[in-house]
Every structure is written in C-alpha cells, then in structure tokens.
Structure 1
C-alpha cells in the first residue's frame, strides 16, 4: 500500500530563496501550460508536450525533468476536474459552480506543490540531508528532520515521487512509500462497531466514547471566535482567521489519527474486524435547519473513516461498511424500529421490550450486528457505488427511504 511520509526541511535563508523561486517558476509555467491546454483542448500528457514543452523550458529556465513534471501536473489537474464534474461534486451542468470551473483554465497557486523524481531529488537518509534541483542550480546538503519511525520507513520503503511543499514559510517534502501489507484476517470471530456522531465523535460497541463533549466545547468556542472575526472583516482579522483555521484543521486531524489508532489497535488485539457506517453522500441526503448546518458539517468524518481504513490495512484488520439507515432507531436487543425509541440525544429506550442504553452505544451495536450478519452471508470484497437517486416524471430527484441494511466490505 502507498503511504506518504512528511518530513520537514531546514533550509538556510539562501536555500529557502532558491526553493521559493523554483516553486513560483514551476507554478507560473503550469498556469501558462494550463491556458494552452484549455485553448487547444489538449489535456493529455504527451499531446500537451508537443505544444508546451519547449516554451516551458525556454521561458522559465526549467530543466527537462522539471518541465515534464509541470506538464504532467497540469494534465493531472484537468483529470481531477473531469472526475469531480462526472461525480457531481461541482453541481449540475449549467449551475454557477459548474460554469465557474469549466469556463476558464485552471490557475495554480504560486506556492503550489511541485513533484520531484529521483533525478531531481536524492536522499541521504542516514545524514538527514537531501540534494534538490532548483532554478538556481542543484542545492546539496539541505537538512531535514523526521522521527525515527519516519526515517525507518523512508529507508526501507521509499519509492516514487516526492512533493515539495511550502506552508506559511515552512518547507516540507512529502515522500511516497510503498509499504507491504500483512495478510488480512479473513476469519474474524466478531466485529467492533463504530458509531460516528456529532456530540460524540466516535462510540464503539464496547461502550467506549472517544472525543465527546470536551471537544465539542472547544469547537463551539472556535466557531464563536470565527464568527466575530468574520464580522470585523479587517486585514488583521483575516490573517487571524487563516491561522486559526489551520490550527483547527491540525487539531481535528490529530484527534482523528488518535481515534483511528485506538480503534484499530483494539480490533487487532481482540482478533475482530471493524464495522463502519457508509456515510457516502450523507450531507446531500440529510435536511437540516440553518442553525444546525455548521454543527453537522464541522467535523471531517470522511477523514476519520479513511484513517481507520488505511491503519486497518497496515494491521491486517478487516473493515466492513454497512448502511447507517435506522441504526439510531433500532433496538439492539429486540430489533424494534421506532422513531420514538430515541427519547433524547444521549438516551435510547425501546418502546417494545423496554431496553435502555446510551443511544450511541446502541447504534454501534446495531452496526456491529449488521456487519456480522453480512459477513456470515459472504460479503463482496468491494463496497458498491451508491445507487442512483430515483426521479419522478418531471425528472426531479425523489428522496430515498431505506428499508434495510445495505452492507459491504472495502477492498483489502
């Protein structure tokens, strides 16, 4: 499996100046090549080279490998745009977002990442130094820092390109590593259900609640401060907003990593698989009042799910996705489904058998039960694409009401 190892560069001021000039030149060249690709409708790598390769080398003073990477980066950006348009991530054809994305060429940020291959970048991992190509010539002995685990991963498994990135004046290299996967556990004796929620970020079927109310209080404070700064709308307030947004993103990413690590370690220790909800398209399906939208969309559950999935692959732990429909309304003891079973946000009380439990724990137990039933029936090894939404006679989408669990396990 592919992993990305991020190491921090420690360049001298002269080296940092050369790296900054390199990023700016490469991204200016990519923006120009993007205009050529848009104007001539040539968005494939080898075809675009015929129109842009010589000009990119001559005008911006790039080497042969750098010029090829600039053109490849431009083509990859258009491929990503096409995939987003096909998936409907930028709205329907003719919408404002759709037209904004398609009616003009792609523009690259001056500090956008630039890929490097082994001809342009060489590693001395033992001495924690890199030799890197720039527009000012090749710079040797650029120091970098990394943890012992990262150094070991780089020494054993580094393979492929690395990306040069600058964030707020700090330089990083994102190195691609090809890490071998262990044999997956294809015979789990049970599953660990994980319920994802707004108040409690993650609750397991063992009853363990991770990242609950304390995290939410911090999120509310951040949202209140963000609202005040947005109302000020001064240059200083905008700078503070940018800084705090990045801090909040790093904090959320760190919490998601810790939750994923704990869940995978517990499943591996007990010989179980992991059962997750398939939340694909949940933001489009759920209808909320305006005051609830910020709370509902303020946490990256997709990121948490992807962290659990890749850490599970590293550990050889099976992951199964189930349909989340009615997991919060279904009794984990008798299976009775009723909206009235959810008496409050934290509590579940079955109207049929009288079973009482924490609502999120009850939901995670339902997720576990669905995964186990699916696995006993012999699930497919890949999660199917979500079904198309049905349309009425006028071509408008109708809402879907799920009548059962749609379950699948991800590719291992």
Structure 2
C-alpha cells in the first residue's frame, strides 16, 4: 500500500531562495498551461503537451522533466475538478459556487506544491541529505530531518514521486512509499464496533470511551481567540492569526492518529475486525442551532475514519462499514427501536426491557452487531459506496452521530 512520509528540509538561506524561486516559476507556468487547457478545451496531458511544452521550456527556462510535470499538474487539477463536480462537492449546476469553479481556468498559488521524480531529486538517506533540481541549477547537500521510524521507511520502501511543499516558511518533501501489507484476516472472531461522535470522539463496543472534551474546550478557546484577533485587525493580530492558523488542525490530527493506532492495535491483538459507520453526507442531513454549527463543522470524523481504515489495511484487519440509521434508538439487548430510548446525549434507557447504558456504548454495540451480520452474509466490502442524493428528507431518520450532534451543547 502507498504511504506518504513527510520529510522536513533544513535548507540554508541561499538554498531556500532557490527553492522558493522554483515553486513560483513552476506554478506560474502551470497557471499559464491551465489557461491554455481551458481556452482550447484540452484536458489530457499528451494533447496539452503539444500546445504548451515548447513554450514552457522557452519562456520559463524549465528542464524537460519539470516542464512535463507542469503540464501534468494542470491536467490533474482539471481531473480533480471534474470529479468534485460529479460528486456534487461544488454545489448544483448553475449555483454560484458551481459557476465560479467552471467559468474560469484554474490558477495555482505561487507556493503550491511541485512534484519531483527521481531524475529531479536524489536521496542520500544515510547522510540525511537530498540533491534537488531548481531553476537556478542543481542544489546539493540539502539537509533534512525525520524520525528514525520514518527514516527506515524511506530507506526500505521509498518509490515514486515526491512533492516539494512550503508551509508557513518551512520546507517539506512528501515522499511516496510502497509499504507491504500484512496478510488479511479473512476469519475474524468478532468485530470491534466504533461509534464516532463530537462529545466523545470514539466509543468502542468493549466500553472504552475516548472523550473529546479536552479537544472541544481547546477548539472553543481557539475560536474565541480568533474572533478577538479578527475584530482587532491590527498588523500584530494578523501575525498571530497566521501563526496559529494550523495549530488546531495539527492537534486534531495527532489525537486522531493516536486513537486510530489504539483501535487497530486492539482489534489486531484480539483477532477481530473493525466496524465503522458510513457517515457520508452527515453534515448535510443534520440541522443544528447556530451556536452548535461550529462544533459540527470542526468535527473530523472523516479523518479519523480514514486513519483507522488505512492502519487496519496495513495490519490486515478487515473493516466493514454499516448503515448508521437507528443505531442511536435501538436497544442493544432486545432490539426495540424508539426515539424515546435516547434519554439524553449521554444516556440510553430502553422503554421495552429497561436496559440502561451509556448512549454511545449502546450505539457501538449495535454497529458491531450489524457488521457481524453483514460479514456472515458475505458482505465483506471495506469501501462503502456513497449513498444517492435524497430530496425532501426532513422526515428521514438520523444516525447515532446525528443525535450526538443535536444533543451536544455549545460549551463542550
């Protein structure tokens, strides 16, 4: 399977200047190539190369490989745009957002990432050095730093392209690695149900609750601070906003990685598979009061689900996605379904048999039961198909996480 290793570069000021000039030149050329592709309606790399390759090499003085990557970069951007339009991620045809995306050519940021292949980039992994092509010539002995585990992954499995990225004045190489997978477990003894939520980030069918109150408090504090700085709007406030803009995302990503690692390790140790909810479109299906919308929008359930899926795939642990409908209202003991069973965000009390449990723990048990039933029937797919768009769905049933979102208070 393919993994990406982030390598932090430590260039000297002269080397950093050369790298910055390279990104700006390549993105300027890519923006021009994108305009040609839009004007001539040529979105395939081979055809676009006939119209742009010579001009790119002559006007921007790029090498052959760099020019090839610039053309491919423009075509890949239109491929991604087409996929987003088809999936409805940019609104309906004719909407303002849809027209904005389709009525003008794609433009690339001056600091946008630039792909490199092995002809443009060579690694000296034991010495922790790279030699990289720039518009001012080959820059050698660029130092990099990486953890020992990632260094071993680079040395053993690096294969394919790497992307040069500048982020907040720091330089990174995103290296592609082909990592071998473990033998898949085709006969799990059971499934570990995972309920994803806002108040509690993840709850397992074993009863383990990974609370998100600390993370939610930090998010709330960060939102208040951002609001104050935006209102102040002074140069120093803008500098602070720029410095802190990715802090919350980094913290969330770190927490999700830790949760995913723990969940997969537990499933692998006990010989079980992992059961997750298919939460596609959950944000569009759930309506909340205005104070609660920020908490829902910052809910990173998709990222956590992706982390669990790829770590499980690497460990050979099967992953099954289930329909989340009614899992918040179904009793895990007797199967009785009633809206009144969900007493509050935290508690579940069955109106039929009297069973009382934590609401998220009860939901995760229902998820585990559904996954086991799907597996027994032979539905072993690990990638759910997105559900069709529904119209007039005001009366449709919400999922457990939808109930979790509705019950979550603004002060998490």
TM-score w.r.t. length of structure 1: 0.94
Distance 2:346 2:221 in 1: 22
Which residue matches 2:323?
Answer: 323
Change in Cα spacing, 1:80 to 1:211, as seen in structure 2 (3 Å) is same
Secondary structure, in 3 states, of the residue corresponding to 1:20? helix
Contact 1:389-1:399 within 8 A present in 2 as well = no
Aligned equivalents of 1:320 and 1:158: distance in 2?
A: 30
CA, structure 1 residues 403+26, in 2 after alignment: closer, same or farther (shift >3 Å)?
Answer: closer
**Structure 1 spans left out of the alignment, 5+ residues:** 392-396, 406-412
CA offset digits 1:309-329 (Å, max 9, x no partner): 000011111111111111111
Which residue does 1:335 correspond to in 2?
335
Q: Matched residues in 1 for 2:311 and 2:177: separation?
A: 15
Q: 1:210 maps to which residue? A: 210
Q: Hey, what does 1:277 align to over in structure 2? A: 277
1:179 to partner: Cα distance: 0.9
Q: Give the equivalent residue in structure 1 for 2:78.
A: 78
* Matching of residues 15-164 of structure 1 within 5 Å: 15-164=15-164
CA distance in 1, matches of 2:336, 2:284: 27
How far 1:125 sits from its partner (Å)?
0.6
Aligned: 1:240 with 2:240: yes
For residue 257 of structure 2, what is the aligned residue in structure 1?
Answer: 257
Cα distance change on mapping 1:139 and 1:389 into 2, 3 Å: closer
Q: Given that residues 320 and 382 in structure 2 are in contact (C-alpha distance below 8 angstroms), is that contact kept between their aligned partners in structure 1?
A: no
Aligned mate of 2:396, from 367, 392, 401: 401
Alpha-carbon deviations, 1:145-197, whole Å to 9, x = none?
Answer: 11111111111111100000111111110000111111111111111111111
| C-alpha distance in structure 2 between counterparts of 1:386 and 1:136, whole Å | 47
In structure 2, C-alpha distance between the alignment counterparts of 1:309 and 1:270, rounded to whole Å = 17
TM-score normalized by the length of structure 2: 0.94
Deviations 1:56-91 (CA, angstroms, capped at 9, x unpaired): 111111100000000000000010001000110000
1:381 maps to which residue? 381
Contact 1:252/1:299 (<8 A) preserved: no
1:364 aligns with 2:402: no
Residue 35 of structure 1 contacts residue 105 of structure 1 at CA under 8 Å; is this kept in 2? yes
Equivalent-residue separation in structure 2 for 1:340 and 1:235 (angstroms): 53
CA deviations on 1:324-349 (whole Å, 9 max, x unpaired) are 11111111111111111111111111
Q: How far did 1:404 drift?
A: 11
Q: 1:121 to 1:403 in 2, by over 3 A?
A: closer
**1:382 to partner: Cα distance:** 4.8
For residue 177 of structure 1, what is the aligned residue in structure 2? 177
What is the CA–CA distance in structure 1 between the aligned matches of 2:214 and 2:278, rounded to whole Å?
26
3-state SS, counterpart of residue 201 of structure 1:
strand
Shift of 1:27: 0.4
Root-mean-square deviation (CA, aligned residues, Å) is 1.7
In structure 2, distance between residues paired with 1:295 and 1:374: 32
Q: Which has the higher contact order (CA 8 A, sep 6+)?
A: 2
1:239 shift after superposition: 3.2
Distance in 2 (CA, whole Å) between partners of 1:54 and 1:30 is 13
Alpha-carbon distance in structure 1 between the residues aligned to 2:148 and 2:354: 54
Structure 2 unaligned segments of length 5 or more: list them: 401-412
Measure how far apart 1:53 and its partner are: 0.6
Q: How does 1:297-316 map to 2 (within 5 A)?
A: 297-316=297-316
